[in-house]
Amino acid sequence: MGILKRAKELLPVAKGNKKSKTLDGKILATCFFEPSTRTRLSFESAMQRLGGSCIGFADPSATSHLKGETLSDAIRMVAGYSDAVVLRHPREGAAKLASEVSEVPIINGGDGAGQHPTQTLLDLFTIKDEIGKLEGLKVGMLGDLRYGRTVHSLSQALNRFNTKFFFISPKSLAMPEHVTDVLDSHWSTHENLKEVLGDLDVLYVTRIQKERFPDLEDYKKVAGAYKINAELLKNAKSKMKILHPLPRVDEISTDVDETKHAAYFRQAFNGVPVRMALLEEMIGAKK
Amino acid sequence: MSENLLKVQPIRNGTVIDHIRAGRGRKILDILGLSNSGTTISLLVNVQSKKQKRKDMIKIEDRELDENEIEKLALLSPNARVNIIRNYAVAEKKEVEIPSFISNIVHCSNENCISNNERGVSSNFKLIDEETHQIQCTYCGRKIEEDKLNFL
């Protein structure tokens, strides 16, 4: 919670309205072995807003990775050039392995289908900022709940705040048991969004991934079922907020963008102050 | 144990693995590579037992199991007992217990786990349930049931 509080204080710095030099002279290495837009750019923005600088790569084909260099060797090398490393990697457990060989802190920027903890932090920050609290909310999670790492991590984090969960998905993309098994709070599963929309304080939408469906017709059926537009949202509470880790395809119609429910672009911006707070905590000068 | 040991010829030096879960003896021979070890091995299958109704037993001549082999054995048959025999007498009795941390013994079942895709990385697991013997990969977090272990 200290990170979220500090992130709120850093909002003017994140927006460029106030200057800060808390990470002056520090170097962050961003090592992205997989494509990323929001995570990489928001870390780089966060670092530079705090007076630090960045090195790194966004395309592993330009590194020794293709020559057969192991991740462990690459991390040992990069750790020697920087004060902290952000790592995104296609294999689960990559950040854990990196942390075992690195002399500087490793930040997991997403490891395969594993974890994406800084996304969860910014999701929590956004919910608190938009709704005013985290405790006792009714949160719907919709879309690809089976493979989406953001909803797995976020449900575990919200479980600490007495959340009532509504998991809305086609049966084939339902929330996995290993996630629901560890939830203390009340949760229920639904196939139809309309059944529960009016109850929700937050609706967290994820993209349904076409490539998961062997039959294209099945995909079209479920993808269409979860298309959210301004008309549908007339049945929602007036203060209900919609979050989405982005990128979206067509699960949220663009006419939602102008409604009071749309929080997803502010959510994407919140990656900057939250990552600023995290970087200060990890490599900032000790107070 | 001594009554059952008499059913086959006593060994002078070596190891007797007793109280193996019935049906697991052959798998233990394979996984510990004992069949190809060049020593005489006796496998008793479905031996009557007061404790377990039925059990398997293995006698290995002129070879004492090392700690790594005993850890593997613990994962395969957690209640087994290892008796080290020297000069026809039981010189040491070793309780087999699954260690809390298991390194380089089993593969992670997640093909996309970094431990299966990086040269020189040991597989590492922690024991998370002492009753069901479920273990969890320390890298990717995958939980593996005792009957789905894939040994290195």
Task: State the nearest Cα–Cα gap between B136 and chain A, in angstroms.
Answer: 12
User: Residue B89 is inside which H or E element, if any?
Assistant: strand B89-95
B28 DSSP assignment: H
Q: Which of A28-42, A54-68, A200-214, B88-102 has the lowest mean pLDDT?
A: A54-68
Q: Which CATH superfamily is domain A117-256 in?
A: Aspartate/ornithine carbamoyltransferase (3.40.50.1370)
Task: Tell me the pLDDT band of A2, cut-offs 50, 70 and 90.
Answer: very high
Give the per-residue pLDDT at A55: 97
Give the per-residue pLDDT at A205: 97
Fold of B101-148: SH3 type barrels. (2.30.30)
Residue of A71, A111, A178 with shortest CB distance to B118: A71
Residue range B13-21: mean pLDDT, rounded? 93
Do A13 and A20 contact (CB within 8 A), yes or no?
yes
Fold of A2-114+271-283: Rossmann fold (3.40.50)
Is the pLDDT score of B1 beyond 70? no
Task: Tell me the pLDDT band of B96, cut-offs 50, 70 and 90.
Answer: confident
Dist. CA A131–CA A158, nearest whole Å: 14
Task: Tell me the pLDDT band of A66, cut-offs 50, 70 and 90.
Answer: low
Q: How many other CB atoms are found less than 10 A from the CB of residue B64?
A: 16
**Same fold flag, A2-114+271-283 and A117-256:** yes
Is the CATH number of domain B2-95 3.30.70.140?
yes
Is the pLDDT score of A220 beyond 80? no
Task: Tell me the pLDDT band of A225, cut-offs 50, 70 and 90.
Answer: low
Residue range A100-106: mean pLDDT, rounded? 97
**A and B: number of Cβ contacts within 8 A:** 50
Do A144 and A209 contact (CB within 8 A), yes or no?
yes
Q: Which of A54-63, A208-217, A278-287 has the lowest mean pLDDT?
A: A208-217
Write out the two tokens for A122: 């910014």
Q: Which of A108-112, A166-170, B6-10 has the lowest mean pLDDT?
A: B6-10
Best B110, B117, B145 member to test A by mutation, with max A CBs in 10 Å, is B117
Q: Nearest chain B residue to A94 by CA: give it.
A: B114
> Starting from the edge strand earliest in sequence, which strands make up the sheet with B101-103, in order?
B101-103, B124-129, B134-137, B143-144
Please name the residues in contact with B92: beta carbons below 8 A apart, sequence gap of 6 or more. B83, B84
Domain boundaries, chain B: 2-95, 101-148
Is the pLDDT score of B30 beyond 60? yes
Task: State the nearest Cα–Cα gap between A92 and chain B, in angstroms.
Answer: 5
Domain boundaries, chain A: 2-114+271-283, 117-256
Is the pLDDT score of B2 beyond 60? no
Residue B133 touches partner A, C-beta closer than 8 Å: no
Task: Tell me the pLDDT band of A231, cut-offs 50, 70 and 90.
Answer: very high
In sequence order, the β-bridge partners of residue B60 are B15, B41
- Quote the crossing angle between the two packed helices A117-131 and A149-158, to the nearest 10°: 60
For B50-70, write each residue's pLDDT tens digit.
877 899 999 999 999 988 889
Dist. CA A154–CA A81, nearest whole Å: 33
Is the pLDDT score of A252 beyond 70? yes
**Same fold flag, B2-95 and B101-148:** no
Percent of chain A at pLDDT > 90 equals 77
Side chain identity at residue A147, one-letter code: Y
Task: State the nearest Cα–Cα gap between A276 and chain B, in angstroms.
Answer: 27
At residue A199, φ and ψ (nearest 5 deg) are: -85, -20
Q: Which of A95-99, A206-210, A231-235 has the lowest mean pLDDT?
A: A206-210
Residue range A257-270: mean pLDDT, rounded? 97
For A114-153, write each residue's pLDDT tens digit.
889 999 999 999 999 999 999 999 999 999 898 888 999 9
Give the per-residue pLDDT at A250: 85
Dist. CA A169–CA A13, nearest whole Å: 38
Residue range A257-263: mean pLDDT, rounded? 97
Give the per-residue pLDDT at A169: 93
In sequence order, the β-bridge partners of residue A228 are A252
Give the per-residue pLDDT at A68: 82
Q: Nearest chain B residue to A113 by CA: give it.
A: B112
For A6-49, write each residue's pLDDT tens digit.
999 999 999 999 999 999 999 999 999 988 889 999 999 999 99
